[in-house]
């Protein structure tokens, strides 16, 4: 080893200049480089996926794309209007089911449960449910609703798809409501109860509005996540090359359209799949930005 690298500790005129050859300085450089490499690797898929989707899909954007039905195999032109509308309908059904149930469950956990066995069980179950693969939600709803033809003897339907997505959204909404309500200072509840508010009034007029931001953010994010799910919809909403016919008929959705068209041997369909990917990614992006906006709202 270089003797200069290890000067005697009692040396009188020991230089304070940085010596790049010292082992600690070399290790510093190596680990900084390593961290930078991994940081770049992390960002890479993020940028690449977005860039690829934008490059492949954005060029197709037109009013026709957003408003027309997909073409038959072998034909050209057409759009994905039915899939966009279908995704909106299915997500709306899912939200209408999951928001009341999820917020209600969160209110129960945070405001009513007294930390007993049942509440712990619900909290644990919520965590498990949030880790359940989405395809299992699909199979579950398939077995529960589609295979049994429970709705007007219909098998695949928009309603079944919405229910499958709502199962996926539930844990997020329950958790964000629970956590959001727990952040509300206890003194506020006392204040409301101290002026003679009942528990119901306290929750609906004071506690819930105070926790509006985290709850709304959680809801928007969960909708954004559900809107892009494919697996649960394949088994439940199926697909339809036509405009939505009703809540109890099979319905098109963007994610299933991508799944179906991307593997077809026709260039037109593959291009439509890319365009759909672009629309879907943009929709999810907009919802995420909206969630951030909701989170930054300054209510009185």
Partner 1 sequence: MNASTTTTHSVPSAEACLSLQDVSISYGYGKNVAVNHVFMEIPKGKVTAFIGPSGCGKSTVLRALNRMNDLIEGCSLKGRVLFDGQDLYDRRVDPVEVRRRIGMVFQKPNPFPKSIYENIAFGARINGYRGDMDELVESSLRKAALWDEAKDKLKESGFSLSGGQQQRLCIARTIAVQPEVILMDEPCSALDPISTLKIEETMHELKKTFTIVIVTHNMQQATRVSDLTGFFNVTSLPDMDGKVGCLEEFGETERIFNSPVQQSTQDYVSGRFG
Closest to partner 1 by CB, 121 vs 190, is 190
Question: Which are the contacts of 174, defined by CB distance < 8 A and separation ≥ 6?
Answer: 102, 105, 106, 109, 122, 126
Q: Which one of 66-74, 117-125, 170-178, 204-212 is the stretch in contact with partner 1 (CB under 8 A)?
A: 204-212
Closest to partner 1 by CB, 69 vs 193, is 193
Whether residue 258 contacts residue 80, with contact meaning beta carbons closer than 8 Å, is answered with no
Three-state DSSP class for 209?
Answer: helix
Contact between 295 and partner 1 by CB under 8 A: the answer reads: no
Out of 196, 265, 267, 296, the only residue in the binding site for partner 1 (CB under 8 A) is 196
Contact between 204 and partner 1 by CB under 8 A: the answer reads: no
Question: Which are the contacts of 159, defined by CB distance < 8 A and separation ≥ 6?
Answer: 93, 145, 151, 247, 248
Three-state DSSP class for 200?
Answer: helix
At its nearest, how many Å lie between partner 1 and the CB of residue 124? 21
Question: Which are the contacts of 180, defined by CB distance < 8 A and separation ≥ 6?
Answer: 106, 211, 213, 214, 215, 218
Closest to partner 1 by CB, 28 vs 204, is 204
**Window 94 to 153, contacts with partner 1 (CB under 8 A):** 114
With tokens 């690449």, the residue in question is 48
Question: In terms of Cα–Cα distance, which of 72, 89, 260 is closest to 162?
Answer: 89
Three-state DSSP class for 154?
Answer: strand
153 secondary structure, DSSP code: T
Contact between 300 and partner 1 by CB under 8 A: the answer reads: yes
Q: Which one of 72-80, 180-188, 220-228, 262-270 is the stretch in contact with partner 1 (CB under 8 A)?
A: 180-188
Provide Rg for the chain, Cα atoms: 27
Contact between 175 and partner 1 by CB under 8 A: the answer reads: no
Question: In terms of Cα–Cα distance, which of 153, 147, 169 is closest to 235?
Answer: 147
Question: In terms of Cα–Cα distance, which of 232, 251, 256 is closest to 157?
Answer: 251
Out of 63, 194, 265, 296, the only residue in the binding site for partner 1 (CB under 8 A) is 194
Out of 190, 242, 243, 293, the only residue in the binding site for partner 1 (CB under 8 A) is 190
Q: Provide the mask over 50-89, with x wherever binding to partner 1 is found by CB under 8 A and - wherever it is not.
A: ----------------------------------------
107 secondary structure, DSSP code: H
Out of 205, 286, 289, 293, the only residue in the binding site for partner 1 (CB under 8 A) is 205
Q: Which one of 127-135, 151-159, 203-211, 274-282 is the stretch in contact with partner 1 (CB under 8 A)?
A: 203-211
Closest to partner 1 by CB, 71 vs 295, is 295
Whether residue 223 contacts residue 168, with contact meaning beta carbons closer than 8 Å, is answered with no
Q: Which one of 3-11, 26-34, 174-182, 183-191 is the stretch in contact with partner 1 (CB under 8 A)?
A: 183-191
At its nearest, how many Å lie between partner 1 and the CB of residue 214? 14
Contact between 230 and partner 1 by CB under 8 A: the answer reads: no
Q: Kindly list the residues in this chain that would bind partner 1 in the complex (CB under 8 A).
A: 114, 185, 187-198, 201, 205-206, 209-210, 299-300
């Amino acid at each position: 080893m270089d003797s200069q690298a290890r000067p005697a500790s009692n040396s009188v005129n020991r230089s304070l200049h940085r010596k790049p050859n010292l082992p600690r300085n070399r290790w510093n450089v190596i680990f900084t480089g390593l961290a930078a490499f991994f940081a770049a690797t992390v960002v890479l898929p993020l940028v690449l996926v977005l860039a690829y989707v934008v490059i492949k899909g954005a060029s197709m954007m037109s009013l026709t794309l957003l408003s027309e039905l997909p073409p038959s195999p072998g034909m050209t032109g057409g759009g994905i209007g039915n899939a966009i509308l279908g995704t909106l309908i299915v997500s709306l059904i899912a939200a209408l089911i999951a928001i009341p149930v999820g917020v209600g469950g969160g209110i129960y956990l945070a405001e009513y449960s007294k930390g007993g066995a049942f509440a712990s069980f619900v909290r644990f179950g919520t965590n498990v449910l949030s880790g359940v693969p989405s395809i299992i939600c699909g199979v579950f709803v398939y077995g529960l609703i589609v295979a049994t033809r429970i709705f007007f003897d219909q098998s695949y339907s928009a309603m079944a798809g919405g229910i499958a997505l709502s199962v996926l959204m539930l844990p997020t909404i329950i958790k964000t409501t629970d956590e959001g309500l727990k952040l509300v200072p206890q003194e506020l509840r006392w204040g409301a109860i101290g002026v003679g508010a009942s528990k119901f009034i306290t929750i609906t007029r004071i506690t819930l509005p105070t926790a509006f931001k985290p709850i709304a953010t959680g809801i928007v994010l969960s909708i954004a996540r559900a809107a892009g799910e494919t697996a649960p919809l394949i088994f439940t909403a199926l697909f339809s090359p036509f405009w939505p016919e009703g809540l109890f008929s099979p319905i098109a959705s963007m994610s299933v359209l991508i799944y179906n068209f991307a593997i077809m041997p026709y260039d037109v369909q593959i291009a439509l799949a890319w365009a759909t990917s672009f629309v879907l990614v943009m929709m999810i992006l907009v919802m995420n930005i909206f969630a951030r906006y909701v989170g930054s709202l300054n209510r009185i």
